[in-house]
Amino acid sequence: MENTVENAVQFLKDGKFIILADNESRENEGDLVAFGDRITPEVVYKMLNLANSLMCVPINSKIANRLGFEVMVKNSTDPNGTPFMVTTDATHEAAGVTTGVSAYDRAATIKLIADPTSKPEQFNHPGHIQPLITQDKGIRVRKGHTEATVDLTYIAGAEPVTVIIEVLNQDGKMALTRISRKGTNSDDHS
């Protein structure tokens, strides 16, 4: 299958995940990406096992404001400007979440974040899901996976919530873009 935006969007709409390569002049990495409104415990588990790093959930500012999610630090010194927010879990009452760490609990929290009717009181802080807030103008303002993945939701007509996880090599180092492009085929795993 040819690697096109259209094919990537269709994979995501089908509830699968893709690898999104970063620009070699930026972080030079590949992230596994899924749509939050289509996430399942099985996909969460596969993504965690394949990438072996921190799972994050990019959301737009409208969702962050509606749910009362706050930035982790006011003045970030992160050289890439990664917009970390305070971690969260869905409450047991809202989504059946117990400890928050299982693939089932993470998927339930992500799906609730993507639910346009969810409310702030349905979430606990801190938790096991790491939200990231996008710049409102997307990749036109910030050329990161956070913005690129949420921009893909707009193309697909999906809720502006995604799941991303940077790919690590088996030695624990970051998988560079040229390696991650050929190293993990999500079609083999999702």
User: Would the pTM count as exceeding 0.85?
Assistant: yes
Task: Give a yes or no: residue 188 inside a domain.
Answer: no
**Residue 63 domain-assigned?**
yes
Whether residue 190 is contained in a domain is answered as: no
For the chain, the domain total comes to 1
pLDDT, tens digit, for every residue of 56-104? Answer: 999 999 999 999 999 999 898 988 878 999 999 999 999 999 999 999 9
User: Do the domain assignments include residue 189?
Assistant: no
Cα(102)–Cα(107) distance, integer angstroms: 8
Residue at 187 is within a domain: no
Domain of 69, in residue numbers? 5-179
The torsion region of residue 92 among left (phi > 0), alpha (psi -120 to 50) and beta comes to alpha
Quote the CA–CA distance of 167 and 73 in Å, as a whole number. 25
Domain assignment present for residue 32? The answer is yes
CATH number for the domain spanning 112: value is 3.90.870.10
DSSP alpha helices (H): ranges in the chain? Answer: 5-13, 41-51, 61-67, 92-95, 103-114, 145-156, 177-183
Query: What is the tens place of the pLDDT at every residue in 13-48?
Result: 999 999 998 766 556 688 999 999 999 999 999 999
d(CA 136, CA 106): 25
